[in-house]
Structure 1
């Protein structure tokens, strides 16, 4: 048998290279596994609860079976009066008004009252706010639905400090309202109506610029 003097060193070199390659592969796999568990590595950072004016908004909610996250919270104040705080829940975080309105899935606007008052005033603020900030043609097209929403708001009667009002939107149902978990009125269909409602808070002409910033997560 003829012995090749280069065969044994070559085999050793090949085995060494293979061991190094396997070691590097193992290191890479470990790094990938570790990366998967880092916050924000594969998904947006989870939302956290927000407390404003002693009102704590949970980090998440669920509307029509869809999980939502708290986008931000803002305070509505008029002169020296603190009227309510509102939290916006969306499927994904939005940092601008157009991004909010572009979200096509379920949403929640949660209003927590900071003072007592007749629901008529909130009806005027919400449906009146829609009329003032929406083009006349769209208001006319939504007229019957705006009126239905107005009746729902007024049907609550007096509202009190600490009341929690959820104004939810689900594509298959429309706009629904609950007060302290109790439903009021019938669903009002239309993504356009809910977008007009959100426009009061995060549109180009918000009712309160600081509140808009808070609901977009840009200010505490």
Structure 2
């Protein structure tokens, strides 16, 4: 009878040998709720890798698939929030959502994860976010909203078209806490974004 464990060892040895020899390791996309989630993206010429992805639901209704992309994978929420490296939250809508509802959810997440004094200091960038969401209008099923975070702030893009930028590192960190903070929009989604 053939030894299964020996076959596994041989296969692992071949994979390891190929990796050490510099052979490319092919990253695989994943699918979640019928949405293809790419394993890699690029931002400003830098490769971003899928850190984790999950489903946002509200009252059992599927709202969007969220994916977090980073330069280096991490399960440490605080490190990801405070990083100055490029990061992207991609929201792929699973239903139509009007801009007022989308902005309301983001503003609620900001309130839930930001101390009152800090939130008051972030009023101007929070208002700017509301205006940008209003400019996007109703996000339709299948639409993609990207939030690109860097050392200086956050850029909002809808369906590949840049809608605007908010230059405030403090606000960028507060906005990331909507998904990764102590009181996230959805605990199971936070865990999924952190790769757990």
**TM-score for the superposition, normalised by structure 2:** 0.84
RMSD, aligned CA? 2.3
Runs of at least 5 residues in structure 1 that lack an aligned partner in the other structure: 1-33
Query: What's the counterpart of residue 155 of structure 2?
Result: 176
**Matches of residues 103-114 of structure 1 in structure 2 within 5 Å?**
103-114=83-94
Runs of at least 5 residues in structure 2 that lack an aligned partner in the other structure: 1-13
Instruction: Return the match for 1:99 from 79, 83, 90.
Output: 79
**Matches of residues 153-168 of structure 1 in structure 2 within 5 Å?**
153-168=133-148
Number of residue equivalences: 181
Query: What's the counterpart of residue 197 of structure 1?
Result: 175
Superposed CA offset, 1:85-114 (max 9, x none):
100001101112113113211111000000
1:165–1:178 Cα contact (<8 Å) kept:
yes
Query: What's the counterpart of residue 13 of structure 1?
Result: none
Q: Which runs of 4+ in 1 moved over 6 A?
A: none
1:89 is the counterpart of 2:69: yes
1:211 is the counterpart of 2:173: no
**Matches of residues 37-186 of structure 1 in structure 2 within 5 Å?**
39=19, 48-172=28-152, 174-184=153-163, 186=164
**TM-score for the superposition, normalised by structure 1:** 0.75
Q: How far 1:38 sits from its partner (Å)?
A: 5.5
Q: Which structure is richer in relative contact order (CA contacts within 8 A, separation 6 or more)?
A: 2
